[in-house]
Structure 1
Amino acid sequence: MKAVLYMVIPCYNEEEVLPVTSGLFLEELQLLIEKEKISEESRILFVNDGSKDRTWEIIEGLARENPHFIGICQSRNRGHQNAVLAGLMEAKDVSDITISIDCDGQDDIATMEAMVDAYYDGAEVVYGVRSSRDTDTFFKRFTAQAFYKVLMRMGVETVYNHADYRLISARVLKEFAGFKEVNLFLRGMIPLVGFKSTSVFYERHERIAGESHYPLAKMVNLAIDGITSLSVKPLRLISGLGIGVSVLSFVGVLWAVITQICGRTVTGWASTVCVICFMGGVQLVCLGVLGEYIGKIYMEVKARPRYIISERTWTKQNEDEEKGE
C-alpha cells in the first residue's frame, strides 16, 4: 500500500519565494506519485506563521488552483519551531509520513525520494543532513559547527549538521504528541522518541529569493533554547564552578591569615577591587544561567497553547461551496 505523504512547509513573509518554490514542491510530489511511491492523497501543507505580507493570500490561491496544496494559518507569529509543530500535529492523523522542509528552496527537494525509500526500508525517522557547508560564510560555518559540538558536550542528542529537514512516520508523530514542552527544540526532541532512524545526505543551495528570516539573534536564542530545554549540564557546571571558587577563596583566607601572622600585610585597594569584581562577575553569570532555567519552568507551568490555528484552506473552501449552492 502506498503511503500518504504530507510535506509540512512553515512560511513567514515568503511572498517573494513562495510562488517559485511551490511549483518545485508540486513537481516533486507529482514525480513521487507517478513513480507510485506515495498515494494520490498526498498533500503539500503550508503553515503560515502569522506573516505580515501576502503569504496567506498566495497559499489560499494555490489551494484553489490545485487540490494538492492545502494550508493552515496561525493566529499570530509564534516562531519557526511552533509552525513546524503545528503542521506535524495537523498531519499526523491523515498521513502515513510527513516531510518538514523550509520554504526558501535551500534544502534539496529531490532528496525526498531517498527519504521515502529509506522509510520503505524500515526507517521511521529519516534525517536530512548537509554533506558540506561550502555555501556558508566562514562566520556562519564556524558558529554552526561550534553550536552542534556544544550541544553534544552538553548531553543534547542531535544529528550533526541536521536542521529541520526530516521525514517522520505517523507512528512516531503520535508518540511525539505526548511531549508537551512549550520551549521547543525539535532537532533535539525527535531523537528522544526513539524508533529506527537513518540519515540521507544532500547539498544545500543558496536561497532562491527574498532574505533570510533567521538572523544571528534568532540563531543564538535557538541555541540557548536547545541547551536549556534538553540539558541540565549548565547547572552542574555552575555547581563545579562554585566548588572551584570556594576552594580558591579558602586558599585566599589561609594566605591572608598567614600573612597577617607574619606581619607582611600591605593595605591596598587593587587586590580588594579585583576580588570583588571577580566574585561579582561569577555570581552574575550563575544567576543568569539559573534565571534562564527558572524562566523555562515559568513558561512550562503556564502550559499555554504552543500554536493556535485561525484558518484552514479546506474549511474556507467548504464555506465558499456552501454559499455558492
Structure 2
Amino acid sequence: MDAKDLPDEVQESRGFAQVTNDDLNRHEPIVTDLARTRPRLAIVVPCFNEELVIRETVRRLVGILRDLREKGQIASESFLYFVDDGSLDGTWSILRELNKSEREVKALKLSRNFGHQNAVLAGLLAVRHRADCAISLDADLQHDEQAIYSFLDKYRQGADIVYGVRRNAGNVPISKRLFSSVFYWLMSSLGAKVIKDHPDYRLISAKVLDTLADYKEVNVFLRGIFANMGFKSEVVHFDVHERLAGTTHYSWTKMIGLALDGVTSFTVAPLRMIAMGGVLITLGALAISVFIIVSALRGDVVPGWASTVLPIYVLGGLQIMIIGLVAEYIGKIYSEVKQRPRFISEQELS
C-alpha cells in the first residue's frame, strides 16, 4: 500500500505530509521529520526534599507544556518526569497527588538518595524510549523555565545538545562563585572539555539519549560526558532566579565531590603532574646534595636545624598530598570494578 492510500491521520502519525501540485512544483520533500518539528518532549526534574516548591514547579512547567502543545511545537504525548532522589519530606506524596490530577506529571522514586547526577541520569534513561528529546532542569525554579522555548528553537534547527549557560550567578555566595570559576579554569587547564557556567540545564535529542545509555561508568559527571560526545551543540543563555522557598541542598561537600568526579573522570593530567613534580623534586634534591658535598669539602658546613627540618616537612606534605590524589583515582577504579547500580528504582508513576 502506498502512503497516499493511508488515512490522513495515519499519514500524519507516520511523518507523511499531504502532497499537492504546488508542493511538487516547489520540489519540497514530501516527508516531514515530526521528531524535529513537533517532538515528544520529556522534561526531567530531579528533586530532593522540595515539598515547599514542587507544586509551583509543576504549575509552571505544565503551563509551558500546554502552551507549546497549543502552538503545535510539541507532540500531545509530551510530559514531565520527576525523579524523587530519596526525599525525606512530603515530596513523593505531593507527586502522587499531582500525578492523579495532572496528566502530564509522571514520576520515579529512587530507593534512597543517590545524588543529583545519578538522579538526572535515572530520569534521562527512563524517558529514553518515550521521547524525541529531553530537557533536564532543577526543581527549585532557579533555572529560568522560559528558556525552554529557546532550547526547542535550537533543536528544530538541528542541534542535538543545547546547553543552558548562566547569564548571571543570581544570589550565589561569592565563595561558591569563586570555587566554580576555579573549577572551570582547572578543568580547561587540564584538557577536559566542559562548558563554562553550564549547570545541568540542557536539551538532548533521542540520538544523544541512546549514546548516553552506552556509558556504563559508576562515577557520573554528566557535564563532561555530554561535552565529550561531539554531537552538534548550541548554547542558550538564561538568568538565574532566586529560590521561591527552602534552602539549597548543594552543600560544599557535594560541590567538592562533584569537582573531584569531574577532574578524575575526564583527565589523568594530575597524575602526570605528579610524575613531573617527582622528577623536579629529585633534580632539586640532587642539586642540594651536590651543594652539601661541595660545602663539606670546603669546610663551610651551614650549622642549624632549619636547613634540615624544613625540607623534611615540605617533602612530607607533598608526599601526603600526592598519596591522597593517587588514592582518589584508585578509589574511582574500585567503584568502577564493583559495578554496583548507579541508582535503584523503587516506584514509578506513569
2:171 maps to 135
Find 1:29's aligned residue among 54, 65, 87. 65
**Structure 2: unaligned runs, 5 residues or longer:** 1-33
Q: Which structure has the bigger radius of gyration?
A: 2
How far apart are the structure 2 equivalents of 1:143 and 1:77? 25
Q: Distance in 2 between matches of 1:114 and 1:279?
A: 53
Query: 1:281-320, aligned counterparts within 5 Å?
Result: 281-314=317-350
Identify unmatched segments of 5+ residues in structure 1.
Answer: 315-325
Say yes or no: does 1:211 pair with 2:247: yes
Q: Secondary structure at the match of 2:201?
A: strand
User: SS of the residue aligned with 1:46?
Assistant: strand
1:254 aligned to which of 271, 277, 290: 290
SS of corresponding position for 1:310:
strand
SS at match of 1:164: coil
In structure 2, distance between residues paired with 1:146 and 1:36: 43
Amino acid at match of 1:260: A
Which residue matches 2:129?
93
Q: Distance in 1 between matches of 2:234 and 2:323?
A: 40
**Residue 8 of structure 2 corresponds to which residue in structure 1?**
none
Question: Which residue pairs with 2:315 in the alignment?
Answer: 279
CA distance in 2, matches of 1:22, 1:273: 63
Match of 1:200 in 2: 236
CA contact under 8 A between 2:193 and 2:227: conserved in structure 1? yes
Alignment of 1:151-170 (within 5 A): 151-170=187-206
Q: TM (normalized to structure 1)?
A: 0.95
* 1:234 match: 270
- Across the aligned residues of Structure 1 and Structure 2, the Cα RMSD in angstroms comes to 1.0
Distance 2:92 2:99 in 1: 11
| CA drift at 1:136 | 2.9
Q: Which residue of 2 aligns with 1:322?
A: none
Q: Which 4+ runs in 1 deviate beyond 6 A?
A: none
Matched, 1:107 2:143: yes
Any idea what SS the aligned residue of 2:199 has? Answer: strand
2:131/2:206 contact within 8 Å kept: yes
Identity %: 42
1:182 paired residue among 190, 202, 218 = 218
Q: Distance in 1 between matches of 2:131 and 2:302?
A: 77
Q: CA deviation at 1:13?
A: 0.5
Q: Which residue of 1 aligns with 2:116?
A: 80
Moved more, 135-144 or 275-284: 135-144
Distance 1:207 1:134, change over 3 A: closer
Matching residue of 2:25 = none
1:14 aligns with 2:65: no
- 1:22 deviation in Å? 1.2
The 2-side partners of 1:111 and 1:134 are apart by 16
Match of 2:171, SS state, is coil
SS of residue matched to 1:249: helix
